[in-house]
Amino acid sequence: MNFDIIFNDKKSRARVGKIQTDHGLINTPIFMPVGTLGTVKGVHQRELNEDIKAEIILANTYHLYLRPGIDIIKKSGGIHQFINYQKPMLTDSGGFQVYSLSQNRKITEDGVTFQSHINGDSHFFSPEKAIDVQREIGADIIMAFDECTPYPCTYNYAKKSMEMTHRWLIRCKNHFNNTKPIYGYQQYLFPIVQGGTYKDLRKKSAETIAAHNFPGYAIGGLSVGEPHQDMYEMTDVVTNILPKEKPRYLMGVGTPTNLLECIALGIDMFDCVLPTRNARNGLLYTMEGEINIKNEKWKNDLSILDPNGSTYVDQNYSKAYLRHLIISKEILGKQIASIHNLGFFIELMKQARKNIELGIFLEWKNKIIKKLQKRL
């Protein structure tokens, strides 16, 4: 994997770069739509390519392992063939999902025993197993197996969890290096920085992980309920330590404001379910602010969805029509809103890249954030 930094902002840590994978080029900063089960909810792959213009999407190791199962993905020739999506893909290791199953899992040094949320069957994931499953899924970028600590958690718990994540990383790295890609293209392993909301632990984790030579680095365990300011402070600590010549991925973040603030701190890659989840509930993001399309004020508004929007739906459907669909619980309403929101997130990243290259990123960021936080 090649990562070329095209432009560094002089007033912040923001930068514009390009990641080259065997499935194509990724311009950074980039937002990755979340396709947990091999589908970005409510959106066709054609729409991802032609309307939303996504450059990479994310899938989930834990969920794909349980359903449809690894055998059919292998039989298809890997995840790209199974879902018919030929651009880059990333899978997380399943660590976050195991974290979310706190009532149904047991963590030991060997790995994690957990119960399926589907039928209660018992499964075991070790660092080696997480690598094997991700090899079989076949995403371009795969993640080391980690333990994601909850918020809040005690210092001692965060420390012990971080140290185990570091030990698991060695096992992931060794197993990754001792196995080969299955489908004829290269895969790249990213480690994950942990440490909760404790600056000294985040510093220690970043230093430990930066000592290993990886093609990129992820920051996990944030956006789990902590205040936004804590997220920014932890991100600031970590990006100040991680290698500048490698891409940094902030997992599970976030709102449009979160993205812009973290770009200024040196983050290159983001993913989050927010644009599609909120879309299904009628919340639209625009460059002028947020729209709750269910509000009565949009009932008779026949203006197009978003005159500044970059997708087909923005120019071809009215606010009144989308409100009708959402209120009526029509599936098309969720689809239209999802395409709009994902298109907005991708366009926001494009605008960020442009303003970094123009040398006015901070001024633009501070101005646009005020608009983004308005309720229209």
List, by residue number, the catalytic residues.
Answer: 92, 271
CA dihedral sign, ordered 166, 168, 169, 170: positive
Structure tokens at 162: 């971080």
Report the largest interatomic distance among the alpha carbons of the chain, rounded to a whole angstrom: 62
Report whether 69 contacts 79 (CB < 8 A): no
DSSP state of 328: T
The C-alpha atoms of residue 298 and residue 194 are separated, in whole angstroms, by 44
Structure tokens at 322: 């989308």
Q: What share of the chain is helix, strand, coil (3-state, %, to 5)?
A: 45, 20, 35
Q: Considering only CA atoms, which of 139, 126, 118, 116 is closest in space to residue 35?
A: 139
Whole-number Cα distances in Å, 270 to 164, 175, 197, 208: 25, 26, 19, 22
Structure tokens at 288: 């002028």
- What one-character-per-residue DSSP string does 91-108 give? EE-SHHHHHHTGGGEEE-
Which runs of consecutive H residues, i.e. helices, occur in the chain? Answer: 45-47, 61-66, 70-76, 79-83, 95-100, 127-137, 155-177, 199-210, 228-239, 256-264, 274-280, 312-316, 319-327, 331-358, 361-372
Q: Considering only CA atoms, which of 172, 238, 250 is closest in space to residue 205?
A: 238
Helix (H, G, I), strand (E, B) or coil at 348: helix
CA 106 from chain centre, in angstroms, equals 26
